[in-house]
Structure 1
Amino acid sequence: MKAWCGRLMHLPNDLKEMGVILSRVNKSCRTSSREHVNTTHTVSSISDREINSTTDSDHSSILPVLNKILYEPEELLVPALPEKAQVERGYITPQQVYNLLNAEEAHPALYDPYYILILDCRCADRYKENHVVTARAAVTIIHPELGCLISCIELQKYTIILLYAEEGCSPVGSVKAKADSPDLQRCFFQLSDLGMDPVILLGGFSAFSSMYPFLCTPRMVLLEPERHSLTIYPSEILEGALYQGSVSQASDYCIIKNLHITHVVNATANSPDAFPNTVSYLRLRLSDDAQQDLVEALPLASRFIKAALKAEPAGRVLVHCSMGRSRSSALTLAFLMEHRCWSLLHALRWLKERRACSAPNLNFLSQLLTYEEQLFGTRLTSLDDIRR
Structure 2
Amino acid sequence: MAELLFCEPTELYNILNQVSKLSRLSEPNYLCLLDVRTKREYDESHVITARRVKKKEDQYLIPESVELDCVRYCIVYDSNTRTLELCMRCSEEEDEDDDKKSGQHIPELLPGPAVEFGKILIHLTRQPVYILRGGYEYFSGLYHFFRTQKIIWMPQELDAFQPYPVEIMPGRIFLGNLSQACNRKMHKDLKIKAHVNISMETTPYFKGNEDKLLHIKIEDSLHASLLPFFRHICHFMELHLQLSSVILVFSTQGISRSSAAVMAFLMHHNGETLKRSWAHVKKCKNNMHPNRGLVSQLLEWEKIIHGDYITDIMDPVY
Are 2:168 and 1:255 equivalent residues in the alignment?
no
1:257–1:366 Cα change, 3 Å? same
d(CA) in 1 for partners of 2:176, 2:307: 31
- CA positional deviation for 1:143: 8.1
Specify the alignment match of 1:163 in structure 2.
Answer: 76
More strand by share: 2
- CA positional deviation for 1:317: 0.6
d(CA) in 1 for partners of 2:121, 2:57: 11
| Alignment map for 1:70-219 (pairs within 5 Å) | 90-139=5-54, 144-145=58-59, 147-148=61-62, 150=64, 154-172=67-85, 174-176=86-88, 179=110, 181-182=112-113, 184-195=114-125, 197-219=128-150
Aligned-pair Cα RMSD in Å: 2.5
**Letter aligned with residue 105 of structure 1:** S
SS of 1:338's partner is helix
- CA positional deviation for 1:135: 0.6
Specify the alignment match of 2:240 in structure 1.
Answer: 308
Deviations 1:96-121 (A, max 9, x none): 00010001122221122432111110
- CA positional deviation for 1:203: 0.8
d(CA) in 2 for partners of 1:194, 1:383: 39
d(CA) in 2 for partners of 1:306, 1:358: 23
Matched-pair contact (CA < 8 Å) for 2:53–2:61: no
Specify the alignment match of 2:305 in structure 1.
Answer: 375
d(CA) in 2 for partners of 1:222, 1:162: 18
1:338 to 247, 253, 268: 268
Specify the alignment match of 1:285 in structure 2.
Answer: 217
d(CA) in 1 for partners of 2:137, 2:61: 27
1:149–1:266 Cα change, 3 Å? closer
d(CA) in 1 for partners of 2:207, 2:217: 20
Specify the alignment match of 1:319 in structure 2.
Answer: 249
Higher relative contact order (CA 8 A, sep 6+): 1
Matched-pair contact (CA < 8 Å) for 1:143–1:149: no
1:263–1:151 Cα change, 3 Å? closer
Matched-pair contact (CA < 8 Å) for 1:170–1:176: no
Specify the alignment match of 2:102 in structure 1.
Answer: none
- Tell me the matched-pair count: 296
d(CA) in 2 for partners of 1:317, 1:185: 35
- CA positional deviation for 1:194: 2.1
**Letter aligned with residue 282 of structure 1:** L
- CA positional deviation for 1:326: 0.4
- CA positional deviation for 1:151: 5.7
Specify the alignment match of 2:226 in structure 1.
Answer: 294
**Letter aligned with residue 71 of structure 2:** Y
**Letter aligned with residue 221 of structure 2:** D
SS of 1:168's partner is coil
d(CA) in 1 for partners of 2:147, 2:313: 41
Instruction: Determine what percentage of the aligned residue pairs are the same residue.
Output: 27
Question: Where in structure 1 are there 5+ consecutive unaligned residues?
Answer: 2-16, 19-88
Matched-pair contact (CA < 8 Å) for 1:267–1:321: yes
**Letter aligned with residue 37 of structure 2:** R
d(CA) in 2 for partners of 1:350, 1:220: 33
SS of 2:275's partner is helix
Deviations 1:5-25 (A, max 9, x none): xxxxxxxxxxxx94xxxxxxx
1:144–1:155 Cα change, 3 Å? farther
Specify the alignment match of 1:48 in structure 2.
Answer: none
d(CA) in 2 for partners of 1:143, 1:356: 41
Specify the alignment match of 1:76 in structure 2.
Answer: none
Higher gyration radius (CA): 2
- CA positional deviation for 1:356: 1.6
- CA positional deviation for 1:175: 4.8
Q: Normalising by structure 1, what TM-score?
A: 0.70
**Letter aligned with residue 125 of structure 1:** R
d(CA) in 2 for partners of 1:147, 1:364: 50
Specify the alignment match of 2:283 in structure 1.
Answer: 353
- CA positional deviation for 1:358: 1.2
Matched-pair contact (CA < 8 Å) for 2:84–2:115: no
1:139–1:255 Cα change, 3 Å? same
